[in-house]
Structure 1
């Protein structure tokens, strides 16, 4: 990605707002990087920490959370989604802070009937407010193999990528009065759960429990380009001179790839929903 021309001195006030951050060094091992938080045995780690699976049945779904929290990062995860009739299921993979005015960066994968396309649901929350949904189909079958889903979050922009192809950018538009997530550390969360009241075709297609248990798989987690901590007392400085990811945005070729995705595969964009915003679209649009 092209280096965004910015004063690197701007980074220090952003980091000092919440403390000092360490360059993450662990990657790939789920035992080291995550805690399984719910599901009563329905989420499990295999292959010496290299593979994690979440399952969903009629009794419960399952999920996990990162041991570290992050303030900016380029974070990759390979996922293989629920195969077959996945209608009514949601695999969520997102960053979130805590509190009533939380920040959040969302990937959610909405299942569908066998042979029908998955929907990727993306959203950005700032100060506890979201309503910034963009939804896409994919140019491949996300249940047949693992694919990489990336959240690239820095002081300039948030970039959502699939297999390295950008599908969405949320820019820092504080100059327009739009809140931007830059002060609240976030943890990584993921879960597989049942949401058939809304997930598939607006809730018209319900989950078929005859297909349970449903399973989503994860591998190749990578947070090496990030600023993170494991506890409130272990911050050290992220050096902006050594972290080009901290100041990057898309170049012209990458904008071209994103335009292709949005022209061919976007199915909803809040920035074009005039019925939803009759008094004017959000400022960032």
Structure 2
């Protein structure tokens, strides 16, 4: 995969230039959506080589509630009154990119949480990068919450209402992590950027390797409208589906120089900042779909945390 990344990067730059010339014929709104869709369609198939579940993962919680399907290329997670379930990667990684395609619980999923995250599996100095998909009442948008823990400090929640129904089909969710920044992606659209601001004395997760985890569980004490909406167990069991598991990074233990090697594709200059197309789609998400940002929550942070003024 490492040899493919520079090709993709060069192709992306050429594509973005040509797309700009064509899209000038359209309105700004149409141009944005056309460029975003074309870029995703051309970019995604080359990017990943999905593995089977058993290649990289193990069941960690309630093996009776996780079923491998499609020859192990996909799995079904089940939540019922007796239990939720979870799985984890067999290895830990220090920097790289991880992604999965997930189809979430349809219908009335209020009070349920499906999580996809990276975790250092430590206590007081835990590092963690979270996707948490918060269930809803039928007809309401699904909310995805992201959070970043660094050196044991969290409280950096952001929430975005997804602009599609994630229970109707699979969508890709990815975390890109290098020495300079962390980016959370939904279908190659960046929804969150967390930069390395150690110069401002903001902790950044770069010392501890992290495993890749996912869980499906009951959280109706907080997940939907702050815990107002409870799980309707008459709708159980609840199912979520995962496929196209892809991990590219430095496994630990592994070659001693891997995490610090600047030749790793995820450390390349193309991954130091968002592309123009990504930057535009990122602003679109924040303007139209962000419903909570800890940086603007003055009740919790009368003085915004220093990383909040760092931009992208």
Bucket of the pairwise TM-score, normalised by the shorter protein? 0.7 to 0.9
Confirm or deny: 8 A CA contact 1:2 1:250 kept in the other structure: no
Choose which of 159, 164, 172 in structure 2 pairs with 1:135.
Answer: 159
Return the TM-score normalized by structure 2: 0.79
Output one character per residue of 1:27-62: Cα deviation in whole Å (capped at 9) or x when no partner: 421011100111240012122220011110001000
Does residue 123 of the first structure (1) align with residue 147 of the second (2)?
yes
Confirm or deny: 8 A CA contact 1:70 1:187 kept in the other structure: yes
Does residue 245 of the first structure (1) align with residue 269 of the second (2)?
no
* 1:172 Cα deviation from its structure 2 partner: 0.3
Does residue 64 of the first structure (1) align with residue 87 of the second (2)?
yes
Q: What SS does the aligned partner of 1:284 have?
A: helix
Confirm or deny: 8 A CA contact 1:26 1:223 kept in the other structure: no
Choose which of 173, 179, 191 in structure 2 pairs with 1:155.
Answer: 179
User: Structure 1, unaligned stretches of length 5 or more?
Assistant: 4-24
User: Structure 2, unaligned stretches of length 5 or more?
Assistant: 1-7, 11-47
* 1:255 Cα deviation from its structure 2 partner: 1.2
More relative contact order, 1 or 2 (CA 8 Å, 6+ apart): 1
Distance in 1 of aligned mates of 2:176 and 2:129: 10
* 1:189 Cα deviation from its structure 2 partner: 0.8
Q: Which aligned pairs between 1:259-278 and structure 2 lie closer than 5 A?
A: 259-278=283-302
Return the TM-score normalized by structure 1: 0.87
Does residue 104 of the first structure (1) align with residue 124 of the second (2)?
no
Confirm or deny: 8 A CA contact 1:2 1:251 kept in the other structure: no
The number of residues matched between the two structures is: 259
Structure with more helix by fraction: 2
RMSD across aligned positions (CA): 1.8
Distance in 1 of aligned mates of 2:196 and 2:242: 30
Output one character per residue of 1:184-227: Cα deviation in whole Å (capped at 9) or x when no partner: 00001100000001111111110000111101110001113x11
Structure with more strand by fraction: 1
Distance in 2 of aligned mates of 1:54 and 1:170: 30
* 1:244 Cα deviation from its structure 2 partner: 2.6
